[in-house]
Amino acid sequence: MKLKSNMTLLCSALAAAMPATSADTVPAYEMNTIVITATRSDSDTVQTRHVERVTTEQLDQQQAVSVPETVGYLPNVTTNGGPREDLQNVNIRGLGGERVLQLVDGKRVNFFSGHRPTYFLDPALLKSVEVVKGPVSSLWGSGALGGVVASNTIHAADLLSPGESLGGFVKQGYNSNNDKWLTTTAVAGRYGDVDLLVSGFYRDGNDIEIGGGDDLLDSAVRDRGMMAKMDWFIDDSQTATFNFRSSRADGSVPSNGSAVPNATSNFLVERENETQHASLDYHFNPHSDLINSKLQLYWNETEMKESRITDSRPDDTRIRTLGINLNNRSDLGNVHLLYGIDGYQDKLDTSRGGSNRPTPPEATTDVWGAFVNMQMPLNEQWLVELGGRYDYFATEADNLNDDRSDNAFSPSAALSWLPNQDLRLTLRYDEAFRAPSAEELYTSGSHFCIFPGFCNSFVPDANLKPEESRNIELLVDYQMRDVFNQGDKINWHASAFHNDVDNFIEQVVTDPVFNVIPNPPGPPTVIPVSAGTTFNRNVDEAQLVGFELAMNYQWQSWNALVSYGQTRGQDKKTGVALYSVPADKWVVDLNKAWLADSLKTGFTLTRVEAQDHLPNEINDSADYDHYTLLDLYASWTPRDVENLTVDLSVNNLTDQKYIVAFEQLYMPGKDIRLGVRYDF
């Protein structure tokens, strides 16, 4: 098979390119380990997974308008959902939507409902974003089938220098594409052993302009929000953090904002979206080898109020989540153990006005899981990691008087070879699952109407099986020093993966049926028989295979990054290509610091190849051609006004008109983004 041959050639080439090492070489488990929320790991734990981390500097450089946009340039990561920023989501290696777990400060965000938004954070309040590619259910349970996107918000300590008791910032931004104004502010204070932070944002813009100059009607959104956080340093072994977030967005949008509106199924609605979050984090680390504990209690509530503009039909969708995480790390000599429990409850409440409407269930989902992960060096050069998680999940539809329950075990294993401080090869095996959602199991009612009284209807199926995946991956990290110049450095990363997904859940919409009765010499009589049905089903076996390469060169104030990602997906039985597998993507980024690092300039060139691997039914109806995007950026901190920072970026400089594979709407055209931040 061609896909397997490509992976074999890649792995062979990587192995041949690695330098020979001596058995007497003194190894070091020091491969730039850092604190990573997405893998629950501490700074001195070897990372056997590759974690992509978008830093504060990179976030400021991008001036992204959504969390998915912040990670869209990473290899084998694609921003899906179309041009409307509030509807964007993340696709990792061909898996997106509910198959990618979203975390905010280490807590799950479980809001998925129809074609509604799911990412609500203002990127200006973020400290970093982390992406783990591939299954991570052995740590996080259901939903981490394709990977994890973990957003980490700022703390007061990020705004206060040592010895300061008061600080903060005010940032004003402007985006030319849709005349959007963005205001963000934060104030931090330190009072003894307590840090306080209060922040807020307000964003207001007009309709988006797609490449070529046309407006995307009903794409204007006004949103605002706030965050309050308190860090209490109880003593040298205890820390508690209290966090509260709230946001609201208003605007008119088609009920499916990722598709072209029409008069029969994709109506224009007024949408009001409110989200709230409250959490308590407690960290206990008494400088013991056996105890390093973290407790998280959290509550999320997201409510979408919608009203159809033509007839004022109301929709109300609310999901409330209560959750708890408790984990501990124990070091038994060279053996590191991470273990804990997770539990959460999702409660879905909905109401639909009028007739011939979808009817989501009134449902409650309970999930409990326990996990353990062990890292153990076999000798000075070899490290083994073993992990596993057991989950029990149950869903009850109150309005249908029906329930179902199931369980899953998600094992993982990794073997790393670290012959020296510059090279690491890791072979991983991971299993993961995603439990079907309450809406997938129990939604009934009408999906859409072809004409009044002739409507396509949902058929619920409470017997849907959980999606399951089995992923094998080879990762290579290699660092070269003094390559072309004294003091320069090249970091190489490559990975090849093979992911088999069973019981893949897909939605099927059957065609309407009409009887045609000849009536010569007049026109035939057409009698409607069935408007068709919509149902979810399990696809037995899907296969996703691919690889990614990245090279980062650093010398003095120069920095260059080149990356490439490729994923192929198919039904293993039929060989037919899968939907939503991203096209191959090249990214080149070059930047340099000037004037004693007070000025930084650079550009990002993105080349997305044509998506020719299409399911049979859309081969003749879609043309996802290649496109090239050029983005420019600059950041300036005047040496005479060190507290002032000016960020300027020009996205899609050539005003390219392009569409992402498998999407229906064209993406935004040229956008000049200006941000002015003053720190005090």
Distance CA 395, CA 383 (A): 40
CB 510 within 8 A of CB 488: no
Pair type for strands 77-80 and 147-153: unpaired
Q: What's 553's domain CATH number?
A: 2.40.170.20
Least confident of 400-409, 570-579, 641-650: 570-579
- The number of domains in the chain is 1
Tell me the per-residue pLDDT of 317-336, one tens digit each, with 9 for 90 and over: 999 999 999 999 999 999 99
Q: Which two tokens stand for residue 60?
A: 């400021």
CA of residue 342 relative to chain centroid, distance = 21
Q: What is the mean pLDDT of the chain?
A: 90
Predicted local distance difference test score (pLDDT) of residue 22: 36
Predicted local distance difference test score (pLDDT) of residue 13: 38
Predicted local distance difference test score (pLDDT) of residue 479: 96
- Region of residue 63 (phi > 0: left; psi between -120 and 50: alpha; otherwise: beta): left
Tell me the per-residue pLDDT of 357-396, one tens digit each, with 9 for 90 and over: 788 889 999 999 999 999 999 999 999 999 999 999 999 9
Predicted local distance difference test score (pLDDT) of residue 18: 38
CB 77 within 8 A of CB 133: yes
pLDDT band at 163 (very low <50, low <70, confident <90, very high): confident
Helix (H) or strand (E) holding 22: none
Tell me the per-residue pLDDT of 405-432, one tens digit each, with 9 for 90 and over: 999 999 999 999 999 999 999 999 999 9
**Residue 676 reports pLDDT greater than 70:** yes
Tell me the per-residue pLDDT of 282-291, one tens digit each, with 9 for 90 and over: 999 998 999 9
**Residue 32 reports pLDDT greater than 80:** no
Rounded mean pLDDT, 590-612 = 95
Rounded mean pLDDT, 170-177 = 97
Rounded mean pLDDT, 558-572 = 96
Domain that residue 603 falls in: 2-679
pTM reported for the whole predicted model: 0.90
Predicted local distance difference test score (pLDDT) of residue 223: 94
Predicted local distance difference test score (pLDDT) of residue 14: 38
Distance CA 176, CA 179 (A): 5
Q: How many CB atoms lie within 10 A of CB 445?
A: 16
Predicted local distance difference test score (pLDDT) of residue 42: 72
Predicted local distance difference test score (pLDDT) of residue 307: 92
**Residue 269 reports pLDDT greater than 80:** yes
Predicted local distance difference test score (pLDDT) of residue 43: 61
Distance CA 550, CA 546 (A): 14
Rounded mean pLDDT, 122-144 = 94
Helix, strand, coil % (nearest 5) of the chain? Answer: 10, 55, 35
Predicted local distance difference test score (pLDDT) of residue 357: 75
**Residue 473 reports pLDDT greater than 50:** yes
Least confident of 26-30, 117-121, 203-207, 550-554: 26-30
Predicted local distance difference test score (pLDDT) of residue 621: 60
Give me the percent of the chain exceeding a pLDDT of 90: 71
Q: What are phi and psi of 7, to 5 degrees?
A: -65, -40
**Residue 512 reports pLDDT greater than 80:** yes
pLDDT band at 35 (very low <50, low <70, confident <90, very high): low
CB 215 within 8 A of CB 225: no
Predicted local distance difference test score (pLDDT) of residue 522: 84
Rounded mean pLDDT, 430-456 = 89
Predicted local distance difference test score (pLDDT) of residue 590: 98
Q: Which two tokens stand for residue 351?
A: 């109401």
Predicted local distance difference test score (pLDDT) of residue 430: 98
Rounded mean pLDDT, 475-497 = 96
Predicted local distance difference test score (pLDDT) of residue 573: 86
Predicted local distance difference test score (pLDDT) of residue 158: 95
Residue type, position 287, single letter? H
CB 51 within 8 A of CB 128: no
pLDDT band at 620 (very low <50, low <70, confident <90, very high): low
Among candidate residues 670, 666, 632, the one with its CA nearest the CA of residue 654? 670
Q: How would you label 342-380 residue by residue, b for 16+ Cβ within 10 Å and e otherwise?
A: bbbebbbbbebeeebbbbbbbbbbbbbbbbebbbebeee
Rounded mean pLDDT, 624-640 = 95
End-to-end CA separation in angstroms for the chain: 60
pLDDT band at 51 (very low <50, low <70, confident <90, very high): very high
Distance CA 159, CA 90 (A): 29
Residue type, position 566, single letter? Q
Among candidate residues 111, 102, 113, the one with its CA nearest the CA of residue 144? 102
**Residue 297 reports pLDDT greater than 90:** yes
pLDDT band at 44 (very low <50, low <70, confident <90, very high): low
Distance CA 377, CA 651 (A): 46
**Residue 27 reports pLDDT greater than 80:** no
pLDDT band at 486 (very low <50, low <70, confident <90, very high): very high
Q: What are phi and psi of 520, to 5 degrees?
A: -65, 150
